[in-house]
Amino acid sequence: MEKAKISVIQLFAMMFLFELGTMLVINFGINAKKDSWLAILLGMCLGIALFFIYYALFLQYPNLPLTGYVRKIFGRYIGWIIGLIYVLFFLYESARGLRDFGELLLSSTMTETPLLAINILMILTISYVIYLGIEVLGRTAEVLIVILIFFGFTGNSFVYLSGNIHLHNLQPFLENGWKPILTTVLPLTTFNPFGEAIVFTMLLPYLNRAKSVKRVWLSAILSSGLILSYTAGLNITTLGVEQVERSTFPLLSTIGKVNLFNFIQRLDAIVVFTFLITMFFKISIWFYCAVIGITDLFKIKNHQQIVLPLSIIVLFLSEVIASSFLEHIEEGLKFVQYPIHLPLMVIIPLVMLFIALIRNRFKKKVKLKSNST
């Protein structure tokens, strides 16, 4: 692994921006209709449960990334194969994120620009930062999270001042009962984005204060979850649930309704810049973890030499992953959740934790017996 360290604030900033990602601007959790904000909160609670699985594994192997301790637990060969599956998963998710980013710009501001041109510019920027290393990515997160907070405060202020908030759009509470909420929580709002935080099991060894992992990770989950829930409620109170359902990017429509004194309007750029920041880190972290995973599995001396080849692979995948944006969204909702997310985010980590705890307990018993004799 790269010989570098990141601070507590940098890790929080990266986690926070990663968790927001695409979910901040799409109609996240809208399958639960008016109660989408509640579905997100419940998904956050289950995401916290998943966090404790990942955190327990970190406590067992605090100096190893996921691709390292998976070989310790399952053995050299089986563990290597499972580690490679995780690396391919990281590459796949970075390609999905790149496609999401390109499609938003196409539909919102750069309608005449080829998708390939947008994605090339984004992946080149990401590759340059990843080439410089995790410390540069962490320092960039420290700066951009401040800008993101400023954009969020400004945009929300204008939405409230414009008088477009109608709280009755959230009523009645539980209009369709619990079933649509629970079917939205599992798997959608649990795995995306909270279960995706498994990617940070690759980054925790870089933290300069390992004892702060629990506090930082929980803070990132809670803050991002509350903001996503709030944003879902804001979209519904401003647009109404029917328009949110029809809109691919409802936050753009919400900010687009701002009109103060016939002067302050057309604030779509705030959402576009916000999405650019969050998606930059979402893609960068998936991509960086794929890079260091391959570096670890194949014993490559320097991660920098594989950044460019992998960036070309991610770019190619983002183009061929689906023939249209609708197909891309459908794939993410149906194909990815149970066949990919469930085993990689829940089943395998639980099995690893069970084996690690049993093995370590057995080792302690052996040590006690040897000491007593």
Is there a domain that residue 34 lies in? yes
Is there a domain that residue 2 lies in? no
Identify any residues that bridge with 6 across adjacent strands, giving them in sequence order: 207
Q: What is the DSSP letter of 207?
A: B
- Provide the domain count of the chain: 1
| Separation of alpha carbons 106 and 252, rounded Å | 13
Whole-number CA gyration radius for the chain: 21
Q: What is the CATH number of the domain that holds 305?
A: 1.10.4160.10
Is there a domain that residue 132 lies in? yes
Is there a domain that residue 3 lies in? no
Cα 213 → chain centroid: 17
Q: What are the residues whose beta carbons fall under 8 Å from the beta carbon of 111, sequence distance 6 or more?
A: none
* Residue from 90, 74, 93 nearest 82 by CA: 74
| Separation of alpha carbons 309 and 312, rounded Å | 5
Is there a domain that residue 364 lies in? yes
Q: What are the residues whose beta carbons fall under 8 Å from the beta carbon of 356, sequence distance 6 or more?
A: 57, 60, 61, 69, 73
Contact 68, 62 (CB under 8 A): no
Predicted TM-score of the model (pTM): 0.94
| Separation of alpha carbons 331 and 24, rounded Å | 19
- What is the extent of the structural domain holding 368? 8-372
**pLDDT tens-digit profile, the chain (373 residues):** 667 889 999 999 999 999 998 888 888 888 898 999 999 999 999 999 999 999 999 999 999 999 999 999 999 999 999 999 999 999 999 999 999 899 888 887 788 889 999 999 999 999 999 999 999 999 999 999 999 999 999 999 988 888 888 888 888 888 888 899 999 998 888 998 899 999 999 999 999 888 999 999 999 999 999 999 999 999 999 999 999 888 878 888 888 888 887 777 777 888 888 989 999 999 999 999 999 999 999 999 899 999 999 999 999 999 998 888 778 878 877 788 888 899 999 999 999 999 998 988 887 777 666 666 6
Is there a domain that residue 112 lies in? yes
For the chain, the straight-line distance linking the first and the last C-alpha, in angstroms and rounded, comes to: 40
| Separation of alpha carbons 236 and 251, rounded Å | 10
Query: Tokens 């594994």 appear where?
Result: 57
Structure tokens at 55: 């955190």
3-state DSSP: the chain helix, strand, coil percent, rounded to 5? 80, 0, 15
Instruction: Using alpha carbons only, give the angle 234, 236, 238 rounded to the nearest 5 degrees.
Output: 70
Structure tokens at 10: 């940098």
